[in-house]
Structure 1
Amino acid sequence: MIFGSLVSMLIGILISRYINHYQLRDIKIAIQSSKEELLNMYSRDIEFRKSKEVKGLSNFMLFTPYKYVYIDQTTSPIIAEDLIIQAKRTKKFTIVVHGDILSKDLFIEIELIQKFQSIITRIQIFKNSTTVYDRIKQLLSTIIDVSNTIQIWGDINKNLFHYKDYVFFIYEKLQAVRLIDIRQDFKLWYNATFSHSTTGGQIIDFIDIDGPLCSCSHRPYKSSTDTWSLWKAVAYTFDENRYKTNSNIHECLAITKISKVIEEKWTRKQTLNYINLHHVNNQTIRNNIAVIINIKFYKK
């Protein structure tokens, strides 16, 4: 009897410690994630303000038109059902998660990348069970599938912890699929496409790597550990400012546009031709690219 009580007590202690361990782990993750998200929000605000100071950049342009669909807990299930049908016909998606972690105003934005027209859906994350709830869960389950290609910009996992308690977001499933980080691919493409100038100070043996000796105006980052912001990637590639429209919709579209350039392996000349065709009057980054091509790259 006493032995049984001791065993029960021991099991209870072990279970309690197990629960406390994982609760503490989740608390630590939440704190760290919140700190990182707050820093990201601050960085995005600085980036937005800097973008407003750049003169001459054109409005962001689309490669293909798009249809926009907003979904929240008041949306008709019929709208979500139509998106499910479209999602089943689509194999490539771009996903962005964003929102205010303090107010719990969270969103997931998804682009269904189709040949002639993309579909952008912005889904408000909520817990209340409504008539559209199950349809949203089905939609996300259709999209977040191992058979699909899902594109992102940077590491979104650190921001996903705040979505963990929202069942239809399928947090665990998103961890299981392969996410294509376009930011990493872009850095490799850009550095290989726009090499260091021969007159610069960067060591030639490391010509594709960002370094502190680099004085090239077309290479904004001077450390191999620096990561591209989406705004700068758009500005330096297309001579366009994605912030001019004040619309988050263009975040998915910008990632997809850059991914297409990488996939098609654009050359330096193709990039300049695009800028000359669409933004012939601009006197900003285009000039730097033109100088690079005229002085150095035509010999290749």
Structure 2
Amino acid sequence: MAQTNKTKTFSIYTERCDELNTVISIQIELVQTEQKESMVLYFELLHLPDPNTFLFVLIRALINIIFHTSKRILVWSQANKEDLQILVLYAYLSKSTLDETYIIVLQGPFKQWYIKTFKHHKNCNVPSFDLQDASCCICPYRPYKNFNDQWTLEKAIQYVFQEFIYPPNGNPIVYQQINISHVYCCLAITKLLMVVELDWTIEHLYQFKKFHQE
């Protein structure tokens, strides 16, 4: 609780089950740049405590600290943002509190950073001054070929940092791996926020990778 109070920025990843048509888990990373290790809170929404228990009250207090107006929330997509309505449905947050929370959807700003940083190659059918994605683009480092395409979180972290998040296959045998995959998604949002906010160049990325691979 003390760490949550001190933290100003949180990255949140939500996981939805299409078969149940509901959000089944929420991962919340406490973004603390001064710490070497990350702290991630994992909420399983299919196994929530009874509203009359102390545990419910404790979780609600924790969530209300995170969604305070003085805090900043990062999500990847608009769908992830809409998933947070589940916290209102289960009475962990009031609708007014959620509406007043400063929530940043990173998907759009990331796309703008990427197309500005990774311009079309000189041999591409699209001129380098045209930053937008196009169907005639042949650049291998620009996977999307349509103006309206939106980056998935998995592709974003793969193309920028050459890191891979493997989607869970729903097999209960690999339950632990599924949890780890969801946590990695949360950490990926924070990592991509860094390059967007600091407006990293290709040289910055090269130096970062060189430092962390040595």
- Tell me if structure 2 keeps the 8 A contact 1:107–1:122: yes
State the Cα deviation string for residues 217-250 of structure 1 (Å, max 9, x = none).
1111111211101111111101111229652111
Task: Letter of the 1:123 partner, please give it.
Answer: F
Match of 1:89? 6
Pick from 34, 44, 60: which aligns with 1:124?
A: 44
Tell me how far apart the structure 2 counterparts of residues 162 and 151 of structure 1 sit (CA, whole Å): 17
Cα distance between partner residues in 1 of 2:43 and 2:211? 35
The corresponding residue for 1:229 is 152
TM-score (ref. length: structure 1):
0.59
1:53-94: CA deviation from partner (whole Å, max 9, x where unpaired)? xxxxxxxxxxxxxxxxxxxxxxxxxxxxxxx21111111111
Q: Deviations over 1:114-146 (max 9, x none)?
A: 121321001233362222111111111111012
Q: Are the counterparts in 1 of residues 49 and 55 from structure 2 also a CA contact under 8 Å?
A: no
Contact 1:87/1:143, CA 8 A, preserved across alignment: yes
Q: Is the 8 A contact 1:212 1:222 kept in 2?
A: yes
Corresponding residue number in structure 2 for 1:36? none
Please state how far the C-alpha of 1:175 moved relative to its aligned partner. 2.6
Q: Which residue of structure 2 aligns with residue 109 of structure 1?
A: 27
Match of 2:76 among 143, 146, 153: 153
1:187 aligns with 2:111: yes
TM-score of the pair, normalised by structure 2? 0.81
1:100 positional shift: 2.7
- Structure with more helix by fraction: 1
Which amino acid is the alignment partner of residue 54 of structure 2?
Answer: T
- 1:284 corresponding residue in structure 2: none
Asked if residue 268 in structure 1 is aligned to residue 202 in structure 2, the reply is yes
Residue type of the alignment partner of 2:6: R
Are the aligned partners of 1:239 and 1:279 in contact in 2 as well (CA < 8 Å)? no
Counterpart-to-counterpart distance in 2, 1:142 and 1:162? 17
The structure with the largest alpha-carbon Rg is 1
Whole-Å separation in 2 of the counterparts to 1:161 and 1:168: 10
Q: CA RMSD in A?
A: 2.4
Residue ranges of structure 2 left out of the alignment (5+ in a row):
168-176
Q: Which runs of 5+ in 1 are unaligned?
A: 1-83, 281-300
Residue 200 of structure 1 is aligned with which of 124, 140, 143? 124
Q: 1:92-118: CA deviations, max 9, x gaps?
A: 111122243618672221111112132
How many corresponding residue pairs? 196
